[in-house]
Amino acid sequence: MGAIIVKFRLANLIAGYDPGLVKNRKGLAIWMGKCAMMTGLLALVIALMNYLFLSATSDLFAFTAFMILSMISGVVALAGAQRYYK
């Protein structure tokens, strides 16, 4: 989804997108698309680490790491998106 947003500059695929409030639609699409791709990459890396280092506590670690890091990536995405709003 992030790659589609970046490649085709489809800002209307972003949740909560309001064209009346955005001053740079192209910049917002690129920023949010890249943030979505990084969150997806984060999920893949955590899943791969969970698979490679399987142990009794690896599921708990993977779940906790994903929850914390995905929340942080969401905050970074929203904070960075503020520069594209009026």
- The domain spans of the chain are 2-84
Amino acid, single-letter form, for residue 16 = G
**Which tokens sit at 18?**
């309001």
Residue 26 tokens read as 């192209």
- Tell me the pLDDT tens digit for each residue of 11-70: 999 999 999 999 999 999 999 999 999 999 999 999 999 999 998 899 999 999 999 999
Q: What is the mean pLDDT of residues 64-77?
A: 97
Residue 29 buriedness (CB in 10 A; 0-12 / 13-18 / 19+): buried
Rounded distance between C-alpha atoms, residue 19 and residue 39, angstroms: 24
State the alpha helices, DSSP H only, in 9-57. Answer: 25-52
